[in-house]
Amino acid sequence: MSLQGAFTNKRVLVTGGARGIGAATVRRFLEEGATVAVGARRAASVETLCHELGDGARVVAAPGRLEDRASCAAVVEAAVAGLGGLDVLVNAAGVFAEVPFESVSQAHWNTTFSVNVAGTFFTLQAALPHLEAAEGNAVNLGSDAGLLGFPPSSVYSGAKAAVVNLTRALALELAGRIRVNCVCPGNVATDMINAAAETSGDRQAYLAAAQARAPMGRMARPEEVADAILYLASHRASFTHGAILSVDGGGVCGF
């Protein structure tokens, strides 16, 4: 999908931008003319991606763990310093693990909600003045697990459900100031799902089940999710606000 340079000279921060959906989103924004700040937990991951992209003039490093208000603010500050402002925020940072209910630890709960929910909330809070000044917008990354129950990952499901309803609540609260939308992918062919498959005990069966969850019979490509994010962030979605866009091959339609 080409937006014909819709993001030329636009300044974009993509958290979780060093791999998977985030990295695909960074590449798509660059293709459409944007300057992009790449956020990720590890500075080395950001440096590796920036080296691969090979366009130092249009790529800014903004690493940070996004686990509390201060760290989120620091990432936004680094991005704004490097970009000179901010037109679009993509909250793509997230963590995922399948942990049965009885085995959930306090640490797993805290990490899952800190990164997926607090990271989304406080990064947008820090970015709001810059986005408002630029008449910009934010796109949050939810999940089909935030729309449907997803065992054995009740904590992740709860966290992504929070992101979905947070998007709706902020769309009401921030209406007329910035647009806020959410993309909810199904299973996506990334290293995150490959890692889950490796730890499942039967990699092939896990991946086959992941593909079968979508009526279309396959997993999404990261670029397909990135295209949905770019659409919501673009002028073509100028009257789209508070939307929860599923990119899951029809999986949330039912069984």
Contacts of 26 (CB under 8 A, 6+ apart): 14, 17, 36, 38, 49, 53, 59
Contacts of 150 (CB under 8 A, 6+ apart): 143, 144, 156, 157
How far is it, in rounded angstroms, from Cα 113 to Cα 117? 5
Under DSSP, the state recorded for 214 is S
**Helix/strand/coil for 151:** coil
How far is it, in rounded angstroms, from Cα 134 to Cα 129? 9
How far is it, in rounded angstroms, from Cα 97 to Cα 15? 19
Under DSSP, the state recorded for 189 is -
Distances (CA, A) of 160 to 20, 84, 121, 182, 212: 17, 31, 12, 11, 22
Q: Which of 122, 150, 156, 206 is catalytic?
A: 156
> Is 156 one of the annotated active-site residues of the chain?
yes
Please name the helix (run of DSSP H) or strand (run of DSSP E) that holds residue 219, with its range, or none.
none
Point out the residues that are catalytic: 156
